Structures are given as C-alpha cells and as structure tokens.
C-alpha cells in the first residue's frame, strides 16, 4: 500500500479531506523526528515502539578487497512491533 492510498483510506474513514490527513501525518512525523532526535522513544499501544538507538563506531573488513574500514557512530531509528501486532501477523 502506497502512502497516497493510505491517506485516502484514512480520509474516507474519518470523513475528512486528504489535505487534513496529510497535514496530521506530517505533524506526527515531525513529532517522531523531534522525540527520536532526543533519543527518546515513542510508544503506540497495540502497534509498536519507535526508538532511536545509538550505534558505536566499529571497524569492518571489506570481504572483497580485504581493506579495513572505520565505520562512524550513528543514531538509527528502530521499530519494535508490539506483541499484539506480531500475533496478528502470524
């Protein structure tokens, strides 16, 4: 399902314009970005948790060339599905 179809479906269910819905979606993404930028996590009941995690730098070896590479530290956004979502998918 593409983003447009998703927005249309929500708009239909809520009986609101797609503009409103995309605005709300942008608001949610902005909130998520802000919170996860602070390394906080955002929990959505029955769905899962969005969490920012810091990965430390590490040295890897390129298997084809055999060169060592220093991979810098980074913060990544992870999603951990809740037990409810997992059981739905089984």
Site residues for other proteins per CB under 8 A:
1-3, 6-7, 9-10, 13-14, 16, 20-47, 49-50, 52, 57, 59, 67-79, 81, 85-86, 88-90
How many C-alpha atoms does 52 have within 13 Å on its Cβ side? 12
Nearer to other proteins, 13 or 64 (CB): 13
CB of 59 to other proteins, least distance (A): 7
How many angstroms separate the Cα of 75 from the Cα of each of 31, 46, 53, 54, 66? 17, 25, 5, 4, 27
CB of 27 to other proteins, least distance (A): 4
């Amino acid at each position: 399902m593409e983003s447009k179809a998703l927005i249309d479906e929500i708009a239909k269910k809520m009986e609101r314009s797609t503009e409103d819905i995309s605005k709300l979606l942008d608001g949610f993404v902005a909130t998520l970005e802000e919170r996860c930028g602070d390394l906080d996590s955002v929990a959505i009941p029955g769905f899962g948790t969005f969490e920012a995690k810091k990965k430390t730098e590490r040295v890897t070896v390129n298997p084809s060339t055999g060169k060592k590479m220093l991979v810098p530290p980074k913060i990544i956004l992870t999603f951990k599905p809740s037990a409810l979502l997992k059981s739905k998918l089984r």
